[in-house]
A and B are shown apart, each in its own frame.
Chain A
């Protein structure tokens, strides 16, 4: 596709439910990143994939959060037993490689609201 796409655009769920957020990176991009942006804040890093493997998951807040990228393209961020504090915009980005000069291109994000 032309850019990074994320689905759904908005997700409303109830406390305690399980949610999945999807990211389709730019075709051919090997690196994929997830960030979380709380209201009025800058994005915070969650996890980074190089190919199929998670190269850095140091930003995941706890074991309720998990992400996969089984074929090295599409990635899914999974949140179990959602809490109201998980409400935020979840941004996905991709880059051609993980070399520092490569630009990270962002998707429009998924706004998650936990009631």
Chain B
């Protein structure tokens, strides 16, 4: 079974600075998807960024980018120019390319932005 591990329960960063959230995963599959979701206090999970494992290029979405290291099974999220609205729980998630369509989530990292 696939597992996802986020080893940083909490992180904090000064507004306008850059922060990196870590995620590792375990799978025997060669093709899969990886995601970062944001969960603000409203509880609604919001997709931040997605990476297809067969793509070597790291995904970017405005201030958000990932560092995908397939051999190391590592998938970190970098947030540049942090803003107060970035404060939330961040979850890393895995999904098989074929077969089971469920998302497997990590335990989450609580990100605090200091003004």
Residues on A lying within 8 angstroms of B by beta carbon are: 31, 33, 35, 40-45, 48, 55-56, 58-59, 89, 91, 93, 98, 100-101, 103-109, 111
Contacts and interface: CB of A to CB of B under 8 A. Distances in A.
B107 A107 contact: no
B43 A42 contact: no
Contacts of A56: 100-102
B91 A43 contact: yes
Given A41-B108, A48-B102, A100-B33, A106 B44 contact: yes
Contacts of A58: 100
B78 interface: no
Interface of B: 4, 6, 33, 37, 42-47, 50, 52, 91, 93, 95-98, 100-108
A109 B100 contact: no
B101 A31 contact: yes
12 contacts: A40-B107, A43-B91, A91-B43, A93-B103, A98-B101, A100-B33, A101-B33, A105-B47, A106-B37, A107-B44, A108-B43, A111-B43
Contact of B97 (A100, A104, A105, A107): A100
A59 B95 contact: no
Contacts, number: 63
Given A42-B6, A42-B106, 11 more contacts: A33-B101, A35-B103, A40-B108, A43-B91, A43-B105, A93-B103, A98-B101, A100-B95, A100-B97, A109-B43, A111-B43
A37 to B, nearest CB: 8
Contacts of B42: 108
Contacts of A31: 101
Given A41-B108, A42-B106, A42-B108, A100 B101 contact: yes
A45 B104 contact: yes
Contacts of A48: 101-102
A31 B101 CA distance: 10
A45 to B, nearest CB: 4
Given A42-B91, A89-B43, A104 B103 contact: yes
